[in-house]
Amino acid sequence: MTIPSLEKWVWAEACEILQQADRLHRQFFRPAITKAQQLFWEPPADVYETPDEVKIMIALPGVPDEELLIKLENNLLIISGQRRLPVSSESQIHRLEIPYGCFERKIELPIGHFEIGMRELIHGCLLVLLRKI
């Protein structure tokens, strides 16, 4: 392989990796439409299970605790709320990548019975512990 063709290959690979990263970003912050046709965004979540509880970590940068609603419905944990635009109407926005507006995330839980234990905002993430009962 010659140097010019090697450079083209490297650039093609780099562009492909950037496109994959962009697709992953859109996947994690994809909008969802509810039955009422209201547009929500879905924050990414991690779910861990221990013998005593289920731990759920949800990325919610800039969302205060008073904007959160957390409820259990059947085998679903539903977390909803709103991330408000943190600028005034007079601000000029140059880039807006973190989603804002209403959000809702429904997480299907493992088989069992749960109650909401601790909930805490830590470094822009919501940690919810569901105790097994």
Predicted model pTM: 0.69
d(CA 107, CA 124): 19
**Could you give the domains of the chain?**
30-132 (2.60.40.790)
What count of other Cβ atoms lies within 10 Å of the Cβ of residue 116?
Answer: 13
CA angle 104, 18, 83 (to 5 degrees): 25
Decide: 60 and 124 in contact? Cβ < 8 Å: yes
The CA-to-CA distance between both ends of the chain, in Å, stands at 63
Sequence-ordered strand ranges (E) for the chain: 31-33, 39-41, 45-49, 53-59, 68-73, 76-83, 101-108, 114-122, 125-132
- Tell me the pLDDT tens digit for each residue of 41-95: 999 999 999 999 999 999 999 999 999 999 999 899 999 999 988 777 788 888 8
How do residues 97-121 score in pLDDT, each as one tens digit? 888 899 999 999 999 999 999 999 9
